[in-house]
Structure 1
């Protein structure tokens, strides 16, 4: 999914941030109850703001979740499916891979598959899903990003 590269004009920094878990209530120094998010681990986030600023935006319309759910009205049976790691199934064009570069303590790496954080990633994924499932859309299934409803 990633490979080591020597350099890129588009290297983006990486930040490791706490993964948010559920909410808990703790007491502070004044013995007051304060709602607090629990940290359940750490996740790597790539700061693609510079690349996203320079990127021409794709204004492909994204569906609204409520529209997808309305299609289920009156259906006797339906199920929801999650497209696990959906973005990572889409290949980044070879000439654009260096633009996905990130830097970390062990080197500079570029993605071969579409990472999270790119401004056009949601619309690219939605367009791809609609192309794949076009013959089934609105008749037997709906696609909302990486979530599918089959009825």
Structure 2
């Protein structure tokens, strides 16, 4: 109980400070953390994650990483629309994607969705993106976990006699 009293798990946002997004995508899920710096420490404001659809799980790595950035900006729109923000991702190609004009239509569409926001992208190592990483590590939701297995319906009589 003292840990809950001493330091807040989530903080209230300060609209005078820049917001930071930590984003990560795995093969089957995406995750994002909205945070701010408070007294030289990063403090989370909000967490978000979701499983990808079966179609989204077939996207390329670039498309998945762009998907999580768009998801985060849509999810936290009310915080980010009028404020400067920084996006941290371990996928460095996103940094250059916003200047590229000859990308796939799906990527260009997502770039257009983000043009109303003021932000910069900073690439980080996976070890520095610890907050968002677990949020994107869900198990495969499209895999049948109830694989049909053979059921042995013949019980030896000696096990029944023990009871």
TM-score (norm 1): 0.26
Higher strand share: 1
Structure having greater relative contact order (Cα 8 Å, sep ≥ 6)? 1
Structure with bigger gyration radius = 2
Higher helix share: 2
TM-score (norm 2): 0.25
